Amino acid sequence: MATPGDAASQVRGSRPPSLPRLLALGAATALLLSIAACTGQDTREATAPATPPSGGTVRIAVNDWAGYEAGAAVIGRLLTQELGYRVETVRLDAPRSWEGLEAGTVDVIVENWGREALKQTYIEEKKVAVSAGRSGAKGVIGWYVPQWMVDEYPGITDWRQLNKYAHLFKTDKSGDLGQLLDGDPSYVTNDEALVRNLDLDYRVVYAGSEKALIDAAERATRDRTPLLMYFYEPQWLFTQIKLAKVNLPPYAIGCDTDPARVKCDYPPYLLDKIVSRRFADTGGRAYELVRNFTWTNEQQNVVANDMKNNGLGADRAAQKWIDANKITWKEWIPG
C-alpha cells in the first residue's frame, strides 16, 4: 500500500500519473485518513479520565450539630467523587441558611426540622425554595435528665413533678429558679413559652451550642450533678450515656400553632431536605443525588460518632461510611 509520502512524490514527478493510478492513489489516501480518524477516537476513549467530568459547584449549608454535619459530609463526598462536582460548605444557623437559598449563596439544606414558618415564607410565598424529600431520619426534641436522677428522684420525668425538684437545678445563671439548659437560640425551641405556660419554676439558660449541651450531659452523668436540658435525637451521645426524656403534656396536631401559647410536647419530626428552586431546576444529577439521599438515625449516628469521638473529622468519617456502605448509597446515584 502506498504511503502518504509515496503519493506526494508521484504528484510532484515530471510525468502525470495515469487515470488508474490516480484512482488507486485516491482510494489509498481516503483509507489511510479513515484509519487515522478511527485510531484517534480509540485513543481518546482509552485515555479518558477515570473520575467524572466536573459538574459545577454545589453550595451546602452546614448547621451546627453533628447529625447535620454527618449528612452534609456524606452528600458532599459523593457529589465530588461520584459525580465530579465541586462542593462548598457554608456554615450558617438554620434561619440564615434559608436566607441563603434566596440570596443564591446556598443550594442545599441537608436536614430541616419542621420550620413551618420558614417554609411558608420561602416555599409558599417567595417561591425560592422547594422540599427535596425526606432525609429518612426521624427527629425527636424534648427535655432530658441523666438516668441516675430517674433512679434517685421518683417521678422526675413527669412534668407535673418538676416544680417539686426545681431547687435541685438552681445555678448562678438561673437565680432562685431551676435551670433548663437549652442549646443555641436558633434551634427549634418552644421552651420559654412552655416554662411560662405550664407555670414551671424554671428559667431557660442558653448554653450556646450542641457541644456545650453534650459537655453538660457528660459532666452530669460522670459527677452525678443535676441537669435538666433540651436535647434531641438522632444524636450520637445516646450511644455513650443514658438520658431519660421528661413527659411533657402530649403533642396533638395544632397544639403548637401559636408559639406564644404552646403548652404541649414537641411533635415528631420527619426530617426533610430543602433546596433552592434554582438548584431544583438546573442542578441536574447533583439535585437528583440530594433528592435520593435517605438514611436512618443509626446510620447518621455512626458517622457523627466517628467525627466527634474517634478523631476522624467530617470528611474522613464520611469516607469511612461510604467505603463500608456502597450497597446503600449506590441507589442514590442517578443513572
* pLDDT band at residue 10 under the 50/70/90 scheme: very low
In a domain, 47, yes or no: no
| CB atoms near residue 157 (< 10 Å) | 18
In a domain, 25, yes or no: no
pLDDT of residue 56: 92
Secondary structure letter of residue 54 according to DSSP: P
In a domain, 205, yes or no: yes
> Is the distance from CB of 300 to CB of 135 less than 8 angstroms?
no
Label residue 45 exposed, middle or buried (CB < 10 Å: 0-12, 13-18, 19+): exposed
pLDDT of residue 80: 96
Range(s) of the domain holding residue 319 = 57-137+271-301+308-332
Label residue 102 exposed, middle or buried (CB < 10 Å: 0-12, 13-18, 19+): middle
* pLDDT band at residue 154 under the 50/70/90 scheme: confident
Give the separation between CA 170 and CA 304, rounded to whole angstroms.
Answer: 32
> Same domain for 154 and 202?
yes
In a domain, 123, yes or no: yes
The CATH number of whichever domain residue 289 belongs to comes to 3.40.190.10
Q: Count CA atoms closer than 13 A to 163's CA, side-chain side.
A: 7
Q: What tens digit of pLDDT does each residue of 232-254 get?
A: 999 999 989 999 999 999 999 99
pLDDT at 320 over 60: yes
> Same domain for 148 and 205?
yes
Q: Which of 234, 261, 288 is the endpoint of a domain?
A: 261
User: pTM for the complete prediction?
Assistant: 0.77
pLDDT at 109 over 90: yes
pLDDT at 53 over 80: no
pLDDT at 13 over 50: no
pLDDT at 3 over 50: no
> Same domain for 178 and 247?
yes
Q: Which is more confidently placed, 42 or 183?
A: 183
> Same domain for 185 and 93?
no
